[in-house]
Each structure stands twice: as structure tokens, then as C-alpha cells.
Structure 1
Amino acid sequence: MKRVGLLTSQDPFDANSFSGTLFYLREGLEKRGDLNVESISHDRFPRNSVSLFINKVTKKIFNFNIFERKINSIQKKISSSNYDLVIAVVCSNLVTKINIPENSKLLFVTDATPKFLKDFYNWDIPESALDDEIEVIKKSFAIIYSSSYISDLAKKEFGKLGCNDKMHAVPFGLNFSDCSTEFSLLNLDEKINLLFIGKDWERKGGKKCLEIFQLLRSRGYNANLTIIGCNPVVNDPHITLFPYLDKNTKKDLVTYEEVLKNTHFLILPTLADCTPMVIAEANSFSVPVLSSSVGGIPFIVDDTVNGHLFDITDSAMSYVNVIEKYFGDDSYLSLRESSFEVFRTKLNWNSWVSKTISISEH
């Protein structure tokens, strides 16, 4: 049995960390019968609010270097635990500060490069981030990117390091513990239920999604729109808002799943994205995705198979035209079935774990 140490900056026992990716990635690893998985950087039971408050006050009063203490704790654990694999997920700031024993293989998992975040999202990325990424690449046995788009960018950016053979693309999985085992029947004939999910209304293309909904209504369709994750100013009885749903609570998780069960299309006309986890979540409920073709999305959305891709400049009417094509047509059920099949065979954590472990063995 392989001993696996999981290294993360955020809490892998919190279903909200990194959109749930850390939580469900950890679960996927733990479900493998041949892996003994241990979180290196976090306790299995998250600290309560009182202990978090005490830690905050202690740091403020005594000026303890919490990060340095954390690094020392991580190093001690890695040095003494004899891990076969250390899987570090989106935490180059930690990886650069620790030493990996010679008998352990480091697998670094990420969905972006510093340059991509700076150019694509216009984030303020410090120069030191590039140096950190180079060091991580050199340390790693393999780097697992969430899309071929990002892995190809990384090979161009870091090609001079001679490490391109270390770089692999494996799509992330579904951020749910329980999922369907067969595709869900939902006819598209009486109404059209649209879903938008995202914290950033502007960047995720919320305005275009709203326009799509309004166009469908103006053309006589009984269209409804559910918005999850943000709180735009909208005033329409056919729009339902959930500014925040906490997947750690059963009530909110059930609400989220019920919305997906009754959705015909996930609308994602995003302006910038890596590999949005909501695509796998939608496909797991047989919901096809209508998305702009940006970033790593074409790696996980196969046009006409588990959704449709659009140019970023395409109008809202382009989306409406596709929806109208499926309305009242049996081809919509075929699209739902193939959307679920993409989830079943590709966009799940069992598949991610199998491919990642296989990479570590070669």
C-alpha cells in the first residue's frame, strides 16, 4: 500500500475550499484501496471558531510567525512519515519552503501558471511567483495540470528547463460525494430552466446569461433562470437567486442538487477561466453546458457532446439559436445522455486518481 501525503494551502476537509476541489480530490484518493492518505498541512477535523479566534489574537499580540511555524510542522511530518508520494495541490508557496526526501516523489497539481493568471485574469502576480513555479517544477517528479491548454502553456513558458516530459494534463473531477449512476431524463418541451453559477458576475459572463434569458422570454418561451454564487441586481419573478450555498451543510447541498436536477442548460459565457468545476457538476446531472471557448474549457467540453462552445465575441442570440434547435426535439435527450457519459468516463475523481497514480509509476 502506497503512503500518500496531501499538501494544500487551504483546508482539504472543507467542501468550500478551492470550489470543493481539495475536499473531493482528497476523498477520491482515500477511496482507493491501495493508498494510505494523510493530510500533511491540515487536521482532519477543522478547528472551531473559538480556536481560530484565539490563534488570530495570539498572532496579533505576540507577533508569532504562523506561516513559519506551519512550514516547520510540515517539514517535520514529511521527513518522518516515509511517504511514497507527496501530492501538493496549488501550493507552490509551501513547496518552495520544504525539502522532499529522496525516497518520496513529489506530484504538483495545479490549474494555471503565474503568467496565465497575470495575462488572462489580469491578476497582480509578483515576480517571485515565477521563481517559485520554476523551483516547484524542478523539484517535482511530475506536474499535473487540469487541462492540455494549461500544460501546453507551461511547456512554452518553462521549456528552457528541459522538464516538458514531466508535464501532464488530467481533468479534475466532480465536486460531489454522491452522484448519479445513470443519465437523467428531463424533457425540453414546456419550459427552459437555465442555470448560472459563479461568484464573479462580470467575468463569468453574467450579463450575457441574463440577456439570453431575456431573449428567450421575449420569443415566447417559458424560460426560468437560477443564479448561484452572486447577487446581481435583477428584478424578475422568473429569476431565482442563491447568493451563497454552503456545500458543507446538508440543506444547502440538497438545494444545489435539486437545482441541477431541474436544469436544462448551464450557461457559462465566461470571459476568462481555467477549468471550471461547475462543468463536471452539471454533466453529472446530465446537464449540458453552453460556454465560451476560453482557457481550458475546450479540454473538458466537447462541442455537441456534453455541451456547445461559442466564441467569446458571439452574441446572446447565438446561444438562443442553439437552445431553440433542441426545444421539443429528441436530440436534447441524446445531448443529456452524452453529457452524463463524459462525466462518467472522464470528469470524475476516480479517473483523475487512476491517471495520476499511473503517471507516478512511470
Structure 2
Amino acid sequence: MNNRKIAFVKYGGFSHVNEMVVEILTREFPNLEIETIDVFTDLVNTKDLATIFHTLNEYSKEIFDRTLHIGNRRLYTSYFFHKLRKALVKRLAGRNYLFTFQTQSLFDASIPGIPHFVYTDHTALANLTYRGFDRAKLPSSAWIECEREIYHNATLNFTMSENVADSIVKDYGVPAHKVANILCGPCLNVPQAEVFDDNRYHHQKILFVGIEWERKGGPILEEAFKMVLDKFPNATLDIVGCSPKVTTPNCNIVGKVPLPEVSEYYKKASVFCLPTRFDPNPNVCFEAMAHKLPVITTNGGSRPEFTIEGKSGYLVEVDNPHQLAEKAIELLASPQKCKSFGEYGHRMVWDKYTWEKTGARISQNIDRFLSCRPI
């Protein structure tokens, strides 16, 4: 057969997920060539005058009211969606792919007659389930109709969580048989047999990992940490991935570091805290669990699916520093509980949340739609 290619269509790095997907496709389909296309570097310009004009037109009230920034909405107009769709059809048509595969639901890379698979961690309408989310911050209704096309045009929609799988079915009217929750894994490589020093649970060291300090609940964590210091004056908070201006004592601002180096901070921590506000599926929680850390995070998105209350960690309310401080103090006061929670989460990761298992689920599902797989 001539169709010995996979078109892998992506946008940027997707928090290292795209790297993992390429590894999966390479491993599961070793006889196929993978052609990678980054839509916003290879196909279209997001800053041309027409795109800016249509963004201003579709979001005029929000932009002029200063509730939205034009830069955050350029990708979410019906004009840009169809402009990108046209560029993708032109780029992919006639190249005889066995199937096409895209990550994230920001564009539609489907081509008639070719099996097409979408792998996403979010939907726009799933945001409405997050406590405190302002409905006015949703993309326009015209763009959400475009998003609906993505899911309906896909041969199969892969999701990272049951929360998003439910949204695609309930919010977008996609038949359940066109959705498969295949989960994901930690993007930081941690050997299953790695041995960790249990003494770290006695060090009263809290860890935060995230690039977006505000969205990930950093200010709430700082407020909670002040209360923690009242109980444990020697406690510390390591902030990895960003460099916010904090004035609270005992905060160690690490900033951005290469991904492999982040592991060293997990290995030294006692507790992992991510009081994120609007976050569909934070991969850092899986990384923390892979490092045998108890996790304290907020109740929303996919977090209740893997943060098992009182077993792998605790779920707290969004924007509630008092509750966050209470749970952090409880864990810091009990190294044995930290160890028990960490071990439970570690087992859960290796039982369900690995890229090897996700890769097998991808392969099994895709094979059902391929009439003939090249040998």
C-alpha cells in the first residue's frame, strides 16, 4: 500500500504532551512515517490584519470593556477557524495518509475519507463546571459551533479524563461511541522502581509546580502558606516553573528549569499543592504521584478522578486558603500519612496513568477503524 504515513497535527508543545504522542505513534505504528505539522508555525499567521479585525468584531464588547485581551482571542473566532481549516485541507488533501491525528480541540484537521482522531484534555463548555468561572469568558457562540464540528467530524475523540468525555457527549451532542477516555501519563519520566527517601516527609517542604501562577492558584497557596508558617515556622514552599513576586518568608522561587531537573524538587518535597482555578487535567499532579507525593488540589475538572479523598490526597474548594492550609498542616504533621498517600498515588499512576497504557489504548482503538494496516 502507498498510504504509509500518519499526519500528526499539533499546536506548540501542549505541556510536553505532543512529545509523548509522537513517541506513542512511533512505537505503536513502527512501519509508518509520521509527518508532523504545527498549524500556527507551518500554515497560518495569527497576527495578520484580517485576523485582528475579525477578533475585534467577534469580541468587541469584551475587548473594549477590558475583560478580554485581543491576544487571548485571536484563535477563537469563526473566521480564523475556517481560515485554518482551509489551510489544513489544502495541506493534507491528496497525500494518501493512513490516518490523521491531532492534539487539542482548537482546529479541525479531518479530511473526508481518511480516519481522523482527536486527543484533547478540554472542551470550552467544560469550563462552566469550574467553580467561579465567568461565562462571559467563554469563546463566542460562533466559535463553539466550530468546536462542535471538530468532535462530530472526528472518527473518534480521545480524551484524557472522564470529565471531558462527558462534556463532548452531553454539551456537544456527540454519540458516546465516538468518544474514548484513554487517560494520559506523567510527562516527566520516573522509573517505576525508583526508590525515594522517606525522610523527606519530615522536612515540612511544600512544592508548587506550574507556569501560570495566577491561574494555577498561586496567590491562594501563598495565603495558605502564611497560616502554615504559624503552625510550622520552619516549613518551606518551593515554587517551580514561574517567578512570581511573593513576600512571604520561607518561599523559594526556583523559576523555570529544564523538565528533567524538576524531578529533583519532587524528590525533596513532603507535600504537593496545586490549588488551580481553571484547569482541565494538570499533568503535574501525575508527576507528583509518580514521585510518591501526597497531592492537595482543587475539586474540579479531572482532579476528583485521581485525587482520591483521604487516600492519595485531598480535594479543597477553589479560592479557599483556609481549607488548603488546614489540609497542608494535617499532612505536614503526619509524615506517615504523607508516605501512605504517596504510595497509594504511586500505585494508581502505574495501574492507570502511564503513556505506555495510553499508547496501547490508542493503538487498539485506531486499529478498529483501519481497513488494512501496512506490515
* 1:1-362 pair list within 5 angstroms: 3-10=5-12, 17-32=13-28, 34=30, 36=32, 38-42=34-38, 74-75=88-89, 78-95=92-109, 99-100=111-112, 102=113, 104-117=114-127, 120=130, 121-122=133-134, 123-159=137-173, 163-176=175-188, 178-182=189-193, 184-188=196-200, 190-236=202-248, 238-245=250-257, 252-312=258-318, 314-321=320-327, 323-325=329-331, 327-362=333-368
Contact 2:221 2:321 in 1 (8 A): no
1:149–1:255 distance in 2 versus 1, CA, 3 Å: same
Show CA shifts across 1:256-286 (max 9, x none): 2211111122111122210011111212222
Question: What secondary structure does 1:31 align onto?
Answer: helix
Show CA shifts across 1:295-318 (max 9, x none): 121123222333221233654345
Looking at structure 2, the residues matched to 189 and 149 of structure 1 have their Cα atoms a distance apart, in angstroms, of: 32
Question: What secondary structure does 1:93 align onto?
Answer: coil
State the TM-score, normalized to the length of structure 1. 0.78
Contact 1:187 1:333 in 2 (8 A): no
Aligned counterpart, 2:56: none
Q: Which amino acid aligns with 1:353?
A: G
Contact 2:275 2:298 in 1 (8 A): yes
Q: Which amino acid aligns with 1:153?
A: S
Q: Which amino acid aligns with 1:242?
A: V
Contact 2:270 2:293 in 1 (8 A): yes
For structure 1, the residue ranges without an aligned partner over 5 or more in a row are 11-16, 61-65, 246-251
Show CA shifts across 1:133-161 (max 9, x none): 222222211111221112112211123x5
Q: CA deviation at 1:237?
A: 5.1
1:70–1:156 distance in 2 versus 1, CA, 3 Å: closer
Q: Which amino acid aligns with 2:245?
A: V
Question: What secondary structure does 1:19 align onto?
Answer: coil
Looking at structure 2, the residues matched to 22 and 253 of structure 1 have their Cα atoms a distance apart, in angstroms, of: 14
Contact 1:226 1:239 in 2 (8 A): yes
Contact 2:288 2:294 in 1 (8 A): yes
State the TM-score, normalized to the length of structure 2. 0.75
Count of aligned pairs: 329
Looking at structure 2, the residues matched to 142 and 105 of structure 1 have their Cα atoms a distance apart, in angstroms, of: 8
Contact 2:124 2:144 in 1 (8 A): yes
1:213–1:126 distance in 2 versus 1, CA, 3 Å: same
1:32–1:306 distance in 2 versus 1, CA, 3 Å: farther
Show CA shifts across 1:183-230 (max 9, x none): 523335542111112233333221221133222221135211111233
1:354–1:91 distance in 2 versus 1, CA, 3 Å: same
For structure 2, the residue ranges without an aligned partner over 5 or more in a row are 50-79, 369-375
Looking at structure 2, the residues matched to 67 and 131 of structure 1 have their Cα atoms a distance apart, in angstroms, of: 10
Looking at structure 2, the residues matched to 25 and 354 of structure 1 have their Cα atoms a distance apart, in angstroms, of: 12
Aligned counterpart, 2:65: none
Contact 1:190 1:222 in 2 (8 A): no
Show CA shifts across 1:62-87 (max 9, x none): xxxx9999877754664454333311
Question: What secondary structure does 1:241 align onto?
Answer: strand
Q: CA deviation at 1:107?
A: 1.0
Contact 1:114 1:129 in 2 (8 A): no
Contact 1:284 1:340 in 2 (8 A): yes
Question: What secondary structure does 1:255 align onto?
Answer: helix
Q: CA deviation at 1:31?
A: 3.1
1:238–1:28 distance in 2 versus 1, CA, 3 Å: farther
**RMSD of aligned C-alpha atoms?**
3.4
Contact 1:3 1:82 in 2 (8 A): yes
Question: What secondary structure does 1:230 align onto?
Answer: coil
Q: Percent identity?
A: 19
Q: Relative to structure 2, which stretch is displaced further, 269-278 or 31-40?
A: 31-40
Looking at structure 2, the residues matched to 273 and 315 of structure 1 have their Cα atoms a distance apart, in angstroms, of: 18
Contact 2:314 2:327 in 1 (8 A): no
Show CA shifts across 1:34-69 (max 9, x none): 4635134149xxx9xxxx9xx99xx89xxxxx9999
